Chains A and B, each alone.
Chain A
């Protein structure tokens, strides 16, 4: 048989056993990436001395090098770094004891944060200055304003790009085999090595990744709609009905009576 259609679907459950690994890496790396990206964005916005040029260098360097090179560099670089520390600082780290997944997480997070930081920075800057001032004027601190006003609004603005970044992250996990991590793709290659059905295997993998990204994209749309709270109806009232002239006159009339 030239191409085994049945096999494409029969082997999917076998690969799916490794789906948790793929998702864990993607979610954990994304979480680290968001934290780092947020810090880099804040450094750039606040123009923190010394750190701003460093952040600029990091972003430029990371965006200017291929992810595959970064994965290899991390894979060989971290043990090298540990060895260096052991020699110079007298630490006693086990150079060979680093779990492979750590390399993958570090590389993916560092790579993605370089992109996310720009999206996060742009979103924070896009939040209406007036609302920040309003928050300050009622006595909220910088941190409270950030947490209660800026981040909820910036999230809505950044969500489409961060969502794309997450989808990119899921696809990026297919490269972690270079760090000796066995994700879906790595598992698939090993399975295919047994029967030499590589083409069928990659078709199966493609289908799985495609379905995952479809589902994630769908969830993101739902999430975005939830975040845009004001676009949803309010207690049986259609959103557009809110500020009509009738209602305005109505409530103004009531007010003038009252006061």
Chain B
């Protein structure tokens, strides 16, 4: 399989703490990578570095064959990475004064310079696909959290990104809305889009991910299939983390 993302020695520090300590990672085209790890282990930072929302200090990011030297990224490099990846945030971050339709159209019109009519048709299709065909004229404040997150996913999909980055897409949602959002993510994964998902929903990760990495203190401690990493972790740290996660899972159930 083609390599879609290739990270070598990715480093990031905030002030005096080193949050990413030289990450090496490969994600194949069409693969879904699950990222798990304790709070503060650097999962969000890793995702944000891929999109240059956070500027990495060192290392190399290769996206679909084009290598970017993180320490000396040019404007064109950043534009390339951002154009071909799209982030789905924990808190949705929809544009407040744009309707669901306008939120999805924004990237098509401003970035891809599509004409309004085509952009609208594409956007309506996407909103239909995430089950919000009847909510196109609603503003974010008129949508539930789950609906907002589905609009956000449609907004990311609109740009047809090579990679979708999802940072705890369901952790701000109430239990009823989670199912709907997970169903949409499953649907996107099924069409073969490369995805990197940070999530605390172990069942979902085990279900959807092809590969899982366990991040601990800025380093990848485990990597493998969900069965390997979630079922039979090699390190004590991972076992502890999973035991705690399962505990909260069973308590929630």
Interface residues in B126-162 (C-beta closer than 8 Å to A): 130-132, 134-135, 137-144, 146-147, 150, 152, 155-156, 158-159
Contacts of A136 in B (CB 8 A): 51-53, 82
In the complex, the answer to whether B144 meets A137 with C-beta atoms within 8 Å is no
In the complex, the answer to whether B106 meets A148 with C-beta atoms within 8 Å is yes
Q: From residue A219, how far is it (CB to closest CB) to chain B in Å?
A: 20
Q: Which of A137, A251, A259 contacts B132 (CB 8 A)?
A: A251
* A interface residue count range (under 10 / 10 to 19 / 20 to 34 / 35 or more): 35 or more
In the complex, the answer to whether A130 meets B89 with C-beta atoms within 8 Å is yes
Binary interface profile of A, 158-192, with partner B (CB < 8 Å = 1, else 0)?
Answer: 00000000000000000000000000000000000
In the complex, the answer to whether A248 meets B177 with C-beta atoms within 8 Å is yes
* B86 part of interface (Cβ distance < 8 Å): yes
Cα A248 to Cα B141 in complex, Å, equals 14
In the complex, the answer to whether A234 meets B82 with C-beta atoms within 8 Å is no
In the complex, the answer to whether B176 meets A139 with C-beta atoms within 8 Å is no
* B244 part of interface (Cβ distance < 8 Å): no
In the complex, the answer to whether A139 meets B89 with C-beta atoms within 8 Å is no
In the complex, the answer to whether A133 meets B89 with C-beta atoms within 8 Å is yes
Q: From residue B167, how far is it (CB to closest CB) to chain A in Å?
A: 10
Q: Which of B144, B146, B159, B184 contacts A139 (CB 8 A)?
A: B159
Segment of A71-79, A103-111, A149-157, A204-212 in the binding face: A149-157
Q: Which of A130, A148, A156, A243 contacts B93 (CB 8 A)?
A: A130
- Nearest neighbor of A234 in chain B, beta-carbon distance: B137
Q: From residue A115, how far is it (CB to closest CB) to chain B in Å?
A: 25
In the complex, the answer to whether A131 meets B96 with C-beta atoms within 8 Å is yes
Interface residues in A207-230 (C-beta closer than 8 Å to B): 227-230
* A258 part of interface (Cβ distance < 8 Å): yes
Number of A-B contacts (CB under 8 A): 131
In the complex, the answer to whether B86 meets A137 with C-beta atoms within 8 Å is yes
Cα A224 to Cα B83 in complex, Å, equals 34
* A20 part of interface (Cβ distance < 8 Å): no
In the complex, the answer to whether A251 meets B180 with C-beta atoms within 8 Å is yes
- Nearest neighbor of B97 in chain A, beta-carbon distance: A229
- Nearest neighbor of B51 in chain A, beta-carbon distance: A137
- Nearest neighbor of A258 in chain B, beta-carbon distance: B131
* A255 part of interface (Cβ distance < 8 Å): yes
- Nearest neighbor of B178 in chain A, beta-carbon distance: A252
Given the known inter-chain contacts A137-B86, A256-B183, please indicate yes or no for A234 contacting B96, CB distance below 8 A: no
Binary interface profile of A, 116-157, with partner B (CB < 8 Å = 1, else 0)?
Answer: 000000000000101101111111110010001100110010
Contacts A140-B110, A237-B138, A254-B131 supplied; 4 other A-B pairs, CB < 8 Å: A131-B95, A135-B106, A229-B139, A234-B99
Residues of B within 8 A of A (CB): 51-53, 79, 82-83, 85-87, 89, 91, 93-97, 99, 106-107, 110-111, 130-132, 134-135, 137-144, 146-147, 150, 152, 155-156, 158-159, 165, 176-177, 179-180, 183-184, 186-187
In the A-B complex, the 9 residue pairs with the smallest Cβ-Cβ separation, listed nearest first, are A242-B142, A255-B131, A230-B139, A130-B93, A138-B107, A137-B87, A252-B180, A139-B83, A134-B93
Sample (20) of A-B pairs whose CB atoms are under 8 Å apart: A131-B95, A131-B96, A134-B155, A135-B95, A136-B53, A136-B82, A137-B85, A137-B87, A137-B165, A138-B156, A138-B158, A139-B83, A139-B159, A140-B106, A140-B107, A144-B111, A148-B106, A239-B142, A243-B143, A245-B176
